[in-house]
Structure 1
Amino acid sequence: MERESAVACHDVTLRLGDRTVLSDISLSVAEGSFVGLFGPNGAGKTTFLRALLRLVKPVSGDITLFGQPVARGNPAIGYMPQSRTPSGAMLTGRDLLASGLSGAKWGLPWVSRAGMAEIDAALEGVDAVALGRRRLGALSGGERQRLLIAQALLGSPRLLLLDEPLASLDPARMREVALLLRDVARRLGMTVICSAHDINPLIGVMDTVLCLARGRARIGPVDEIVTEPVLSELYGVPVEVCHAPSGRVLVSADGL
Protein backbone atom coordinates (compact mmCIF):
# COMPACT_ATOMS: atom_id res chain seq x y z
CA MET A 1 0.00 0.00 0.00
CA GLU A 2 1.39 3.41 -0.99
CA ARG A 3 2.10 5.69 1.95
CA GLU A 4 0.60 9.17 2.18
CA SER A 5 2.82 12.21 1.65
CA ALA A 6 4.29 13.93 4.68
CA VAL A 7 5.82 16.61 2.44
CA ALA A 8 4.77 17.60 -1.07
CA CYS A 9 6.34 20.34 -3.19
CA HIS A 10 4.75 21.42 -6.45
CA ASP A 11 6.81 23.59 -8.84
CA VAL A 12 8.49 25.36 -5.92
CA THR A 13 11.05 28.11 -6.47
CA LEU A 14 13.03 29.46 -3.52
CA ARG A 15 15.24 32.54 -3.55
CA LEU A 16 17.57 34.22 -1.11
CA GLY A 17 17.83 37.86 -2.12
CA ASP A 18 18.52 37.93 -5.85
CA ARG A 19 19.82 34.36 -5.96
CA THR A 20 17.56 31.51 -7.01
CA VAL A 21 18.42 28.60 -4.72
CA LEU A 22 15.92 26.00 -5.95
CA SER A 23 13.97 26.29 -9.19
CA ASP A 24 10.61 24.68 -9.97
CA ILE A 25 11.21 21.60 -7.84
CA SER A 26 8.48 19.02 -7.38
CA LEU A 27 8.88 16.14 -4.96
CA SER A 28 7.05 14.05 -2.41
CA VAL A 29 8.27 12.54 0.88
CA ALA A 30 6.27 9.52 2.01
CA GLU A 31 5.03 9.55 5.60
CA GLY A 32 7.31 7.49 7.83
CA SER A 33 10.36 7.94 5.58
CA PHE A 34 13.86 8.69 6.85
CA VAL A 35 15.30 11.08 4.28
CA GLY A 36 18.99 11.92 3.97
CA LEU A 37 19.31 15.44 2.53
CA PHE A 38 22.57 16.06 0.65
CA GLY A 39 24.14 18.60 -1.67
CA PRO A 40 27.17 20.88 -1.94
CA ASN A 41 27.50 24.03 0.16
CA GLY A 42 25.02 26.63 -1.06
CA ALA A 43 22.79 24.05 -2.75
CA GLY A 44 19.81 25.03 -0.60
CA LYS A 45 19.60 22.36 2.10
CA THR A 46 18.99 24.77 4.97
CA THR A 47 16.77 26.97 2.79
CA PHE A 48 14.63 23.96 1.92
CA LEU A 49 14.20 23.02 5.58
CA ARG A 50 13.35 26.63 6.47
CA ALA A 51 10.75 26.67 3.69
CA LEU A 52 9.02 23.70 5.33
CA LEU A 53 8.85 25.85 8.47
CA ARG A 54 7.48 28.79 6.47
CA LEU A 55 10.54 30.82 7.49
CA VAL A 56 11.32 31.17 3.78
CA LYS A 57 8.38 31.77 1.45
CA PRO A 58 8.40 30.28 -2.07
CA VAL A 59 8.53 32.72 -4.94
CA SER A 60 6.21 30.36 -6.77
CA GLY A 61 4.63 26.96 -6.28
CA ASP A 62 3.23 25.48 -3.10
CA ILE A 63 4.32 23.22 -0.25
CA THR A 64 2.04 21.04 1.85
CA LEU A 65 2.72 19.06 5.02
CA PHE A 66 0.39 16.14 5.67
CA GLY A 67 -2.00 17.62 3.11
CA GLN A 68 -2.10 21.11 4.65
CA PRO A 69 -0.32 24.31 3.53
CA VAL A 70 2.87 25.07 5.45
CA ALA A 71 2.49 27.50 8.34
CA ARG A 72 4.79 29.02 10.95
CA GLY A 73 4.70 27.43 14.38
CA ASN A 74 3.30 24.15 13.10
CA PRO A 75 3.20 21.84 16.17
CA ALA A 76 3.55 18.81 13.89
CA ILE A 77 7.18 19.79 13.21
CA GLY A 78 10.21 19.32 15.43
CA TYR A 79 13.26 21.30 14.30
CA MET A 80 16.94 21.17 15.16
CA PRO A 81 18.69 24.14 13.48
CA GLN A 82 22.26 24.17 12.25
CA SER A 83 23.39 26.90 14.69
CA ARG A 84 22.57 25.34 18.01
CA THR A 85 25.42 25.66 20.56
CA PRO A 86 23.59 25.58 23.90
CA SER A 87 24.37 28.65 25.97
CA GLY A 88 24.66 28.65 29.74
CA ALA A 89 27.32 26.17 30.84
CA MET A 90 25.80 26.00 34.32
CA LEU A 91 22.35 25.05 33.09
CA THR A 92 21.35 21.40 33.27
CA GLY A 93 19.98 19.31 30.45
CA ARG A 94 16.51 19.57 31.95
CA ASP A 95 16.87 23.37 32.00
CA LEU A 96 17.67 23.28 28.28
CA LEU A 97 14.51 21.35 27.49
CA ALA A 98 12.39 23.47 29.82
CA SER A 99 13.61 26.64 28.07
CA GLY A 100 12.09 25.45 24.80
CA LEU A 101 8.97 23.82 26.19
CA SER A 102 6.83 26.91 25.68
CA GLY A 103 7.82 27.39 22.03
CA ALA A 104 8.72 31.02 21.33
CA LYS A 105 8.75 31.97 25.02
CA TRP A 106 12.36 31.40 25.96
CA GLY A 107 13.92 31.61 29.39
CA LEU A 108 13.43 29.33 32.36
CA PRO A 109 9.67 29.37 32.91
CA TRP A 110 7.72 27.56 35.55
CA VAL A 111 7.03 24.10 34.20
CA SER A 112 3.78 22.32 34.99
CA ARG A 113 3.56 18.70 36.05
CA ALA A 114 2.46 17.83 32.52
CA GLY A 115 5.45 19.73 31.15
CA MET A 116 7.80 17.86 33.46
CA ALA A 117 6.33 14.57 32.26
CA GLU A 118 6.87 15.65 28.64
CA ILE A 119 10.52 16.49 29.39
CA ASP A 120 10.94 13.12 31.10
CA ALA A 121 9.49 11.31 28.07
CA ALA A 122 11.74 13.22 25.64
CA LEU A 123 14.85 12.43 27.69
CA GLU A 124 13.88 8.78 28.00
CA GLY A 125 13.25 8.64 24.26
CA VAL A 126 16.90 9.42 23.49
CA ASP A 127 18.37 7.56 26.48
CA ALA A 128 19.44 10.83 28.12
CA VAL A 129 17.76 10.76 31.53
CA ALA A 130 21.12 10.98 33.30
CA LEU A 131 22.20 13.84 31.02
CA GLY A 132 19.19 15.83 32.14
CA ARG A 133 20.77 16.21 35.58
CA ARG A 134 24.20 17.26 34.35
CA ARG A 135 25.52 20.74 33.51
CA LEU A 136 25.79 21.59 29.82
CA GLY A 137 29.38 22.71 30.26
CA ALA A 138 30.39 19.22 31.39
CA LEU A 139 28.90 17.38 28.41
CA SER A 140 30.59 16.09 25.28
CA GLY A 141 29.45 17.08 21.79
CA GLY A 142 27.56 13.81 21.35
CA GLU A 143 25.83 14.20 24.71
CA ARG A 144 24.71 17.73 23.86
CA GLN A 145 23.37 16.42 20.54
CA ARG A 146 21.21 13.93 22.43
CA LEU A 147 19.71 16.74 24.50
CA LEU A 148 19.07 18.90 21.45
CA ILE A 149 17.34 15.98 19.72
CA ALA A 150 15.25 15.47 22.86
CA GLN A 151 14.33 19.16 22.73
CA ALA A 152 13.19 18.76 19.10
CA LEU A 153 10.95 15.86 20.21
CA LEU A 154 8.95 18.00 22.62
CA GLY A 155 5.33 18.18 21.54
CA SER A 156 5.43 14.75 19.84
CA PRO A 157 6.02 16.03 16.27
CA ARG A 158 5.07 13.98 13.21
CA LEU A 159 7.90 15.46 11.13
CA LEU A 160 11.45 15.94 12.42
CA LEU A 161 13.72 18.37 10.52
CA LEU A 162 17.40 18.09 11.42
CA ASP A 163 19.95 20.50 9.96
CA GLU A 164 23.42 18.92 10.15
CA PRO A 165 22.88 17.07 13.47
CA LEU A 166 26.10 15.09 12.90
CA ALA A 167 28.35 18.11 12.37
CA SER A 168 31.41 18.47 14.62
CA LEU A 169 31.16 14.87 15.84
CA ASP A 170 33.85 12.23 15.40
CA PRO A 171 32.96 9.28 13.12
CA ALA A 172 31.98 6.98 16.00
CA ARG A 173 29.67 9.60 17.54
CA MET A 174 28.20 10.36 14.09
CA ARG A 175 27.13 6.76 13.69
CA GLU A 176 25.87 6.58 17.26
CA VAL A 177 23.65 9.65 16.82
CA ALA A 178 22.44 8.42 13.39
CA LEU A 179 21.37 5.07 14.85
CA LEU A 180 19.69 6.87 17.73
CA LEU A 181 17.68 8.96 15.27
CA ARG A 182 16.66 5.83 13.35
CA ASP A 183 15.48 4.08 16.50
CA VAL A 184 13.55 7.13 17.74
CA ALA A 185 11.89 7.63 14.34
CA ARG A 186 10.83 3.99 14.11
CA ARG A 187 9.50 3.90 17.67
CA LEU A 188 7.49 7.10 17.30
CA GLY A 189 6.48 6.59 13.66
CA MET A 190 7.93 9.94 12.61
CA THR A 191 9.03 11.21 9.23
CA VAL A 192 12.61 12.51 9.35
CA ILE A 193 14.52 14.80 6.98
CA CYS A 194 18.16 14.94 8.05
CA SER A 195 20.74 17.03 6.20
CA ALA A 196 24.37 15.92 6.28
CA HIS A 197 27.68 16.38 4.46
CA ASP A 198 28.79 12.76 4.77
CA ILE A 199 26.50 10.03 3.45
CA ASN A 200 28.21 7.21 5.34
CA PRO A 201 26.78 7.67 8.87
CA LEU A 202 23.28 7.48 7.36
CA ILE A 203 23.88 4.31 5.32
CA GLY A 204 21.43 1.72 6.64
CA VAL A 205 19.55 4.46 8.51
CA MET A 206 17.91 6.41 5.69
CA ASP A 207 15.57 4.77 3.21
CA THR A 208 15.35 7.80 0.91
CA VAL A 209 17.93 10.22 -0.51
CA LEU A 210 17.12 13.80 -1.49
CA CYS A 211 19.95 15.50 -3.41
CA LEU A 212 19.96 19.21 -4.20
CA ALA A 213 22.33 20.77 -6.73
CA ARG A 214 22.30 23.59 -9.28
CA GLY A 215 18.76 24.58 -8.31
CA ARG A 216 17.41 21.10 -8.92
CA ALA A 217 16.31 18.15 -6.78
CA ARG A 218 16.32 14.39 -7.13
CA ILE A 219 14.67 12.06 -4.62
CA GLY A 220 14.36 8.31 -4.40
CA PRO A 221 15.67 5.13 -2.77
CA VAL A 222 19.37 5.10 -1.90
CA ASP A 223 20.29 2.54 -4.58
CA GLU A 224 18.55 4.58 -7.28
CA ILE A 225 19.98 8.02 -6.42
CA VAL A 226 23.52 7.31 -5.21
CA THR A 227 24.74 6.19 -8.62
CA GLU A 228 27.24 7.67 -11.03
CA PRO A 229 24.74 8.42 -13.84
CA VAL A 230 22.18 10.13 -11.58
CA LEU A 231 24.67 12.19 -9.57
CA SER A 232 26.69 13.15 -12.66
CA GLU A 233 23.53 14.41 -14.37
CA LEU A 234 22.39 16.27 -11.25
CA TYR A 235 25.73 17.91 -10.42
CA GLY A 236 26.68 18.60 -14.02
CA VAL A 237 30.16 17.02 -13.70
CA PRO A 238 31.42 13.43 -13.82
CA VAL A 239 30.88 11.82 -10.41
CA GLU A 240 32.47 8.60 -9.19
CA VAL A 241 30.69 6.40 -6.64
CA CYS A 242 32.75 3.70 -4.97
CA HIS A 243 31.26 1.07 -2.64
CA ALA A 244 33.76 -0.39 -0.18
CA PRO A 245 33.35 -3.93 1.24
CA SER A 246 32.80 -2.30 4.65
CA GLY A 247 29.62 -0.68 3.31
CA ARG A 248 31.11 2.80 3.13
CA VAL A 249 30.39 4.89 0.05
CA LEU A 250 32.84 7.36 -1.48
CA VAL A 251 31.40 10.03 -3.75
CA SER A 252 33.95 12.18 -5.53
CA ALA A 253 33.93 14.70 -8.34
CA ASP A 254 36.17 17.50 -9.59
CA GLY A 255 34.96 20.90 -8.45
CA LEU A 256 32.66 19.63 -5.68
Structure 2
Amino acid sequence: MFKKIIIIIGIVLLGNWAKAQDPGVSDVVITPGVVESGGNATFSFNLYNASSTGLTTWSSGDSFALQVIVSLSDAVPSDTSTISNSITGTWSGKFDWSYDSGSNTITGIQKEDIAGETLTVPSAGSIEIAVENTAESAQSDPNCGFIVNLTPPATAVSMNLDDDSKNIYTYTEVVVTTCSKSPLTTGTPEVTKAGISTLSQTPTDNWPLDVNNGFIVLESTNKGFVVTRHTTAELSNIENPIEGMLIYDTTAKCLKLYKNGAWTCVKKSCN
Protein backbone atom coordinates (compact mmCIF):
# COMPACT_ATOMS: atom_id res chain seq x y z
CA MET A 1 0.00 0.00 0.00
CA PHE A 2 2.80 2.40 0.93
CA LYS A 3 4.60 1.74 -2.36
CA LYS A 4 1.40 2.41 -4.31
CA ILE A 5 0.99 5.80 -2.63
CA ILE A 6 4.57 6.77 -3.49
CA ILE A 7 4.09 5.72 -7.11
CA ILE A 8 0.83 7.69 -7.41
CA ILE A 9 2.41 10.83 -5.91
CA GLY A 10 5.36 10.49 -8.28
CA ILE A 11 3.07 10.19 -11.31
CA VAL A 12 1.08 13.28 -10.24
CA LEU A 13 4.22 15.36 -9.70
CA LEU A 14 5.71 14.25 -13.01
CA GLY A 15 2.46 15.05 -14.80
CA ASN A 16 2.32 18.55 -13.30
CA TRP A 17 5.95 19.19 -14.25
CA ALA A 18 5.30 18.11 -17.82
CA LYS A 19 2.26 20.39 -18.22
CA ALA A 20 3.44 23.58 -16.51
CA GLN A 21 4.83 26.28 -18.79
CA ASP A 22 7.63 28.13 -17.07
CA PRO A 23 9.46 30.92 -18.96
CA GLY A 24 11.79 33.08 -16.90
CA VAL A 25 14.52 35.73 -16.90
CA SER A 26 18.03 35.39 -15.50
CA ASP A 27 21.56 36.82 -15.68
CA VAL A 28 20.80 40.52 -16.18
CA VAL A 29 24.07 42.31 -16.99
CA ILE A 30 25.25 45.81 -17.97
CA THR A 31 28.50 46.04 -19.96
CA PRO A 32 30.65 47.89 -19.08
CA GLY A 33 29.86 47.77 -15.39
CA VAL A 34 30.29 51.55 -15.13
CA VAL A 35 28.85 53.38 -18.15
CA GLU A 36 30.57 56.36 -19.73
CA SER A 37 28.39 59.46 -19.60
CA GLY A 38 26.90 59.79 -23.08
CA GLY A 39 28.65 56.59 -24.14
CA ASN A 40 27.59 53.18 -25.38
CA ALA A 41 26.69 50.10 -23.34
CA THR A 42 25.05 46.70 -23.69
CA PHE A 43 22.05 45.60 -21.63
CA SER A 44 21.74 41.82 -21.68
CA PHE A 45 19.74 39.04 -20.07
CA ASN A 46 18.87 35.39 -20.61
CA LEU A 47 15.43 33.94 -21.28
CA TYR A 48 14.59 30.32 -20.55
CA ASN A 49 11.77 27.79 -20.44
CA ALA A 50 12.19 25.63 -17.34
CA SER A 51 9.50 23.18 -18.39
CA SER A 52 9.22 20.23 -20.73
CA THR A 53 6.17 21.95 -22.24
CA GLY A 54 7.10 24.27 -25.09
CA LEU A 55 5.72 27.74 -25.72
CA THR A 56 3.84 27.58 -29.02
CA THR A 57 2.98 30.62 -31.11
CA TRP A 58 -0.51 31.16 -32.48
CA SER A 59 -1.97 33.30 -35.26
CA SER A 60 -4.62 34.79 -32.97
CA GLY A 61 -2.84 38.02 -32.06
CA ASP A 62 -0.25 39.31 -29.63
CA SER A 63 -2.18 38.19 -26.55
CA PHE A 64 -1.54 34.59 -27.57
CA ALA A 65 2.25 35.02 -27.57
CA LEU A 66 4.86 35.45 -24.87
CA GLN A 67 5.81 39.12 -24.54
CA VAL A 68 9.13 40.50 -23.32
CA ILE A 69 8.90 44.09 -22.08
CA VAL A 70 12.13 45.99 -21.38
CA SER A 71 11.83 49.40 -19.70
CA LEU A 72 14.99 51.47 -20.15
CA SER A 73 16.30 54.07 -17.71
CA ASP A 74 18.79 56.83 -18.63
CA ALA A 75 19.44 55.06 -21.93
CA VAL A 76 17.91 54.63 -25.39
CA PRO A 77 18.50 52.00 -28.09
CA SER A 78 21.48 52.78 -30.29
CA ASP A 79 19.17 52.66 -33.33
CA THR A 80 15.72 53.93 -32.41
CA SER A 81 14.42 53.99 -35.99
CA THR A 82 15.07 50.28 -36.65
CA ILE A 83 15.03 48.68 -33.22
CA SER A 84 16.03 45.24 -34.50
CA ASN A 85 19.44 46.70 -35.39
CA SER A 86 20.04 47.28 -31.68
CA ILE A 87 19.07 43.79 -30.52
CA THR A 88 21.18 40.65 -30.86
CA GLY A 89 21.57 37.40 -28.95
CA THR A 90 20.80 33.75 -29.56
CA TRP A 91 17.05 34.21 -28.93
CA SER A 92 16.61 37.67 -30.46
CA GLY A 93 15.18 36.14 -33.64
CA LYS A 94 12.36 34.45 -31.75
CA PHE A 95 10.61 37.81 -31.22
CA ASP A 96 9.29 40.74 -33.24
CA TRP A 97 10.69 43.88 -31.61
CA SER A 98 9.24 47.38 -31.35
CA TYR A 99 10.25 50.54 -29.51
CA ASP A 100 8.03 53.19 -27.91
CA SER A 101 10.02 56.38 -27.41
CA GLY A 102 7.29 57.91 -25.24
CA SER A 103 7.63 55.27 -22.54
CA ASN A 104 11.21 54.36 -23.51
CA THR A 105 10.13 50.73 -23.67
CA ILE A 106 11.16 47.87 -25.94
CA THR A 107 8.60 45.12 -26.54
CA GLY A 108 9.29 41.70 -28.02
CA ILE A 109 6.37 39.58 -29.29
CA GLN A 110 7.13 35.88 -29.62
CA LYS A 111 7.03 34.78 -33.27
CA GLU A 112 8.75 31.38 -33.10
CA ASP A 113 8.02 28.33 -30.98
CA ILE A 114 10.18 27.99 -27.88
CA ALA A 115 10.98 24.38 -27.09
CA GLY A 116 10.67 22.85 -23.66
CA GLU A 117 13.73 21.68 -21.81
CA THR A 118 14.75 18.06 -21.43
CA LEU A 119 16.60 16.34 -18.62
CA THR A 120 19.87 16.89 -20.49
CA VAL A 121 19.27 19.93 -22.72
CA PRO A 122 18.11 23.27 -21.24
CA SER A 123 15.90 25.64 -23.20
CA ALA A 124 17.58 29.04 -22.89
CA GLY A 125 18.95 31.89 -24.96
CA SER A 126 20.35 35.41 -24.69
CA ILE A 127 19.05 38.88 -25.54
CA GLU A 128 21.53 41.77 -25.95
CA ILE A 129 20.46 45.39 -26.44
CA ALA A 130 22.93 48.05 -27.62
CA VAL A 131 22.12 51.37 -25.94
CA GLU A 132 23.41 54.92 -25.54
CA ASN A 133 23.47 56.67 -22.18
CA THR A 134 21.27 59.78 -21.96
CA ALA A 135 21.83 61.09 -18.43
CA GLU A 136 24.42 61.07 -15.69
CA SER A 137 23.83 59.26 -12.41
CA ALA A 138 25.97 59.12 -9.29
CA GLN A 139 27.47 56.03 -7.72
CA SER A 140 25.34 56.72 -4.65
CA ASP A 141 22.17 56.75 -6.79
CA PRO A 142 22.67 54.51 -9.86
CA ASN A 143 19.90 54.97 -12.40
CA CYS A 144 21.27 53.75 -15.73
CA GLY A 145 19.79 50.33 -16.44
CA PHE A 146 16.62 48.43 -17.22
CA ILE A 147 13.72 46.30 -16.00
CA VAL A 148 12.66 43.25 -18.00
CA ASN A 149 9.22 41.69 -17.49
CA LEU A 150 7.56 38.69 -19.12
CA THR A 151 3.85 38.73 -19.97
CA PRO A 152 2.47 35.20 -20.39
CA PRO A 153 0.33 34.30 -23.41
CA ALA A 154 -3.43 33.98 -23.01
CA THR A 155 -3.14 30.26 -23.76
CA ALA A 156 -0.77 29.65 -20.84
CA VAL A 157 -1.54 26.55 -18.81
CA SER A 158 -0.33 26.52 -15.20
CA MET A 159 2.11 29.32 -16.04
CA ASN A 160 4.68 29.70 -13.27
CA LEU A 161 5.27 33.45 -12.92
CA ASP A 162 8.18 33.15 -10.52
CA ASP A 163 11.39 34.79 -11.74
CA ASP A 164 9.62 36.61 -14.60
CA SER A 165 10.95 40.06 -13.68
CA LYS A 166 14.52 41.26 -13.23
CA ASN A 167 16.22 44.65 -13.04
CA ILE A 168 19.73 46.07 -12.84
CA TYR A 169 21.18 49.59 -12.61
CA THR A 170 24.60 51.19 -12.61
CA TYR A 171 26.08 54.68 -12.51
CA THR A 172 27.91 56.79 -15.07
CA GLU A 173 31.27 58.48 -15.26
CA VAL A 174 32.30 61.62 -17.09
CA VAL A 175 35.25 60.89 -19.36
CA VAL A 176 37.90 63.57 -19.78
CA THR A 177 38.53 63.97 -23.50
CA THR A 178 41.85 65.35 -24.67
CA CYS A 179 43.40 66.33 -27.96
CA SER A 180 47.01 65.78 -28.93
CA LYS A 181 49.10 68.18 -30.97
CA SER A 182 52.20 67.75 -33.06
CA PRO A 183 55.41 68.36 -31.08
CA LEU A 184 57.13 71.72 -31.19
CA THR A 185 60.00 71.52 -33.68
CA THR A 186 61.22 75.12 -33.63
CA GLY A 187 63.18 77.03 -31.04
CA THR A 188 65.77 75.72 -28.60
CA PRO A 189 64.75 72.48 -26.86
CA GLU A 190 65.44 71.81 -23.21
CA VAL A 191 67.36 68.69 -22.26
CA THR A 192 66.01 66.03 -19.92
CA LYS A 193 68.26 65.80 -16.89
CA ALA A 194 67.05 62.63 -15.15
CA GLY A 195 66.58 59.08 -16.36
CA ILE A 196 65.95 55.55 -15.08
CA SER A 197 67.00 52.58 -17.19
CA THR A 198 66.91 48.79 -16.83
CA LEU A 199 69.43 48.40 -19.65
CA SER A 200 72.97 47.19 -19.01
CA GLN A 201 74.20 50.32 -20.74
CA THR A 202 72.61 53.60 -21.74
CA PRO A 203 71.04 53.81 -25.20
CA THR A 204 73.45 56.60 -26.21
CA ASP A 205 76.57 58.16 -24.76
CA ASN A 206 74.66 61.35 -24.01
CA TRP A 207 71.51 59.77 -22.55
CA PRO A 208 69.22 61.17 -21.14
CA LEU A 209 70.43 64.64 -22.14
CA ASP A 210 69.71 63.89 -25.80
CA VAL A 211 66.01 63.33 -24.99
CA ASN A 212 64.46 66.76 -25.32
CA ASN A 213 61.84 68.55 -23.23
CA GLY A 214 61.24 65.85 -20.64
CA PHE A 215 61.24 65.82 -16.85
CA ILE A 216 62.40 62.21 -16.52
CA VAL A 217 63.16 59.44 -19.02
CA LEU A 218 62.29 55.77 -18.41
CA GLU A 219 64.10 53.28 -20.63
CA SER A 220 63.53 49.53 -20.95
CA THR A 221 63.14 46.87 -23.61
CA ASN A 222 61.03 44.46 -21.53
CA LYS A 223 59.36 46.48 -18.76
CA GLY A 224 56.35 48.78 -18.49
CA PHE A 225 55.41 51.82 -16.44
CA VAL A 226 52.72 50.93 -13.87
CA VAL A 227 50.75 53.60 -12.04
CA THR A 228 48.99 53.00 -8.72
CA ARG A 229 46.00 50.69 -9.14
CA HIS A 230 42.67 50.87 -7.28
CA THR A 231 39.14 49.58 -7.66
CA THR A 232 36.44 52.25 -8.04
CA ALA A 233 35.32 51.64 -4.45
CA GLU A 234 38.87 52.14 -3.17
CA LEU A 235 39.20 55.64 -4.65
CA SER A 236 37.42 57.08 -1.62
CA ASN A 237 40.29 55.77 0.53
CA ILE A 238 42.77 58.17 -1.09
CA GLU A 239 43.28 60.98 1.39
CA ASN A 240 43.45 64.53 0.07
CA PRO A 241 43.67 63.81 -3.69
CA ILE A 242 45.08 66.74 -5.63
CA GLU A 243 44.36 68.09 -9.10
CA GLY A 244 46.32 66.15 -11.71
CA MET A 245 46.75 62.95 -9.67
CA LEU A 246 46.65 59.78 -11.77
CA ILE A 247 45.61 56.21 -10.91
CA TYR A 248 44.45 53.15 -12.85
CA ASP A 249 40.87 52.08 -12.00
CA THR A 250 40.73 48.28 -12.21
CA THR A 251 36.91 48.33 -12.11
CA ALA A 252 36.35 50.86 -14.90
CA LYS A 253 39.44 49.61 -16.79
CA CYS A 254 40.83 53.07 -17.46
CA LEU A 255 43.47 55.57 -16.40
CA LYS A 256 41.79 58.17 -14.20
CA LEU A 257 42.64 61.81 -13.61
CA TYR A 258 41.58 63.76 -10.52
CA LYS A 259 40.10 66.95 -11.94
CA ASN A 260 37.58 69.45 -10.59
CA GLY A 261 37.05 67.37 -7.47
CA ALA A 262 36.27 64.06 -9.22
CA TRP A 263 38.00 61.00 -10.65
CA THR A 264 37.32 60.68 -14.38
CA CYS A 265 38.60 58.36 -17.10
CA VAL A 266 41.10 59.89 -19.50
CA LYS A 267 40.40 59.21 -23.17
CA LYS A 268 41.88 60.57 -26.36
CA SER A 269 39.06 61.54 -28.68
CA CYS A 270 40.06 64.02 -31.36
CA ASN A 271 42.87 62.48 -33.41
* TM range, smaller chain: under 0.3
From the CA coordinates, give the structure whose radius of gyration is larger.
2
TM-score of the pair, normalised by structure 2 = 0.24
TM-score of the pair, normalised by structure 1 = 0.25
- Pick the structure with more helix per residue: 1
Using CA pairs under 8 Å that are at least 6 residues apart, name the structure with larger relative contact order, 1 or 2. Answer: 1
